[in-house]
Copies of this chain bind each other. A is one copy, B any other.
Amino acid sequence: MAQKPSIPKGTRDFTPAEMARRNYIFDTIRSVFHLFGFQQIETPAMENLSTLMGKYGEEGDKLLFKILNSGDFLRGVDQKLIEAGECPKLAGQVCEKGLRYDLTVPFARFVVMHRNDLSFPFKRFQIQPVWRADRPQKGRYREFYQCDADVIGSDSLLNEIELLQLIDEVFRRLKINITIKLNNRKILAGIAELIGEPDKIVDITVAIDKIDKIGLENVKNELRERGLSDESIDKITPIITLEGTNEERLEKLSQLLSTSEIGLKGVAELREVMNGTERLGLKAKLELDVSLARGLNYYTGTIIEVKAQDVEIGSITGGGRYDNLTGVFGLPGVSGVGISFGADRIYDVLNALNLYPNDITGSAKVMFTNFGVEEAARSLAIIKQLREAGIACEIYPDSSKMKKQMGRADSLGIPYVAIIGETELANNTVTLKDMITGNQEELSVDNLITKLK
Contacts and interface: CB of A to CB of B under 8 A. Distances in A.
Contacts of A112: 5
A325 interface: no
A229 interface: no
Contact of A45 (B48, B110, B129): B129
A154 B397 contact: yes
Given A7-B47, A48-B8, A42 B68 contact: no
Interface in A33-81: 34-37, 39-48, 50-51, 62-63, 65-68, 70-75
A123 B2 CA distance: 24
A6 B65 contact: no
Interface stretch (A13-21, A216-224, A236-244, A301-309): A13-21
A170 to B, nearest CB: 12
Contacts of A85: 72, 74-75
A113 B15 CA distance: 11
A355 interface: no
Contact of A387 (B14, B36, B363): B36
A60 to B, nearest CB: 13
A6 B113 contact: yes
Interface string A333-375: 0000000000000000000000000000011100100100000
A6 B370 CA distance: 56
A276 interface: yes
Identify whether the interface residues of A are mostly helix, strand, loop, or mixed: mixed
A123 B91 contact: no
Categorize the interface residue count of chain A: 35 or more
**Number of identical monomers bound together in the oligomeric complex:** 2
Contacts of A426: none
Contacts of A121: 396-398, 408
Given A4-B330, A131-B45, A364 B65 contact: no
A280 to B, nearest CB: 6
Contacts of A408: 119, 121
Contact of A46 (B34, B119, B131): B131
Contacts of A45: 11, 45, 99, 129, 131, 143
Closest 3 CB pairs of A and B: A37-B394, A2-B330, A16-B39
Nearest to A129: B45
A12 B44 contact: yes
| Residue among A5, A42, A72 with most chain B CB within 10 A | A5
B154 A398 contact: yes
A44 to B, nearest CB: 4
A143 B384 contact: no
Interface stretch (A158-166, A182-190, A290-298, A434-442): A158-166
A377 B276 contact: yes
A119 B411 contact: yes
